[in-house]
Amino acid sequence: MQVPKYAAILAAMCLSLDAYAANDAHFIPDCAGTVAVAHARVARVTDDGTLILADGRSLRLEGIHLPLADKEMSGRALAALRAMTMDGLLNFTTVTPDKDRYGRMRVQGFGTLWLQAALLEQGWARVRIAPDRSECAPDLYEAEARARARHAGIWAKEHYRVRSPEKLKDTIGTFQLVEGLVSNIGRADGRTFIDFSDPTDNRRVFTAVIGSESRRAFRDFEFDELSGHRVRLRGVVQDYRGRPEIVLSNPFQIEVLD
């Protein structure tokens, strides 16, 4: 009984995703890496979004974050993913490092649609850049931005919308997008701090931290140029002495907006 539902979802997605159609000569972009698994069939999609191939191999879609903690949104996102993966054979690309700690291949998926871009475009995922991978990040951000502009999928719910630094209460332990004006850049003990203040009283309310272990990844990043500019950050919100912070490990977690 699920096949008609998936088919309807897939048809709706195809209407709005011409940019990712398989007959486009540039459908698999160079940024996606090399094809590691060709003409494969997905046997099933697990409840955490892992793709299980017919030969038993496990694949994880790189660069996106599914709303798995939200029962309603998770169901819709997984239904969309299953609709896309049941539509014939798929190709999967990867770059190094190509496996996660569970032995799953970390891939970009291409069938009738580019799986990651399609999920983002429809609002069923957010971009989440890993510390050691950043392939196709600009393309993924563009797909996400189009969904945000339409309030599609998860973006229709307040919980998922981009938050200002002073509105991070009760978000500890969750993946969030935060957008605001950088008030100060600080450095101490090999770490770099990107501070944000409440515009009403200049009180520091949020900090993004780059640890000493991530300095190499940010070696060409001009932090001082961020001061006074509006940026969007993303990551898991943590609590540090009563104030929220996000630890950054990849420059692609920072989007400069002006």
pLDDT digits (tens, 9 = 90+) for 68-85: 999 999 999 999 999 999
Range of the domain at 184: 162-256
Q: What pTM value is reported for the model?
A: 0.88
Domain final residue, candidates 156, 186, 207: 156
pLDDT for residue 128 is more than 60: yes
Residues 74 and 134 in one domain: yes
The whole-number average pLDDT for the span 225-240 is 97
- Going by pLDDT thresholds of 50, 70 and 90, the confidence category of residue 16 is very low
Residue type at position 107:
V
Q: Which residue has the tokens 């339409």?
A: 150
User: Looking at residues 12-35, what average pLDDT do you find?
Assistant: 62
Residues 6+ away with beta carbon under 8 Å from 137: 63, 127, 129, 252
**First-to-final CA distance of the chain:** 49
In tens, the pLDDT along 201-214 reads 989 999 999 999 99
Peptide bond into 244 cis (omega under 30): no
Residue 155, pLDDT score:
98
Phi-psi sector, 68: left (phi>0), alpha (psi -120 to 50), beta: alpha
Among residues 107, 126, 156, the one where a domain terminates is 156
pLDDT at 184 over 70: yes
Pair (49, 177) in one structural domain: no
129 with 251, same domain?
no
CA-CA distance, 55 to 43, in Å (whole number)? 8
Phi/psi for 161 (5° steps) reads -70, 155
pLDDT in the model for residue 86: 87
Query: Is residue 19 pLDDT above 90, yes or no?
Result: no
Q: Which of 139, 156, 173 is the last residue of a domain?
A: 156
pLDDT at position 27 is 78
**Plot region of 181 (φ>0 → left; ψ -120 to 50 → alpha; else → beta):** beta
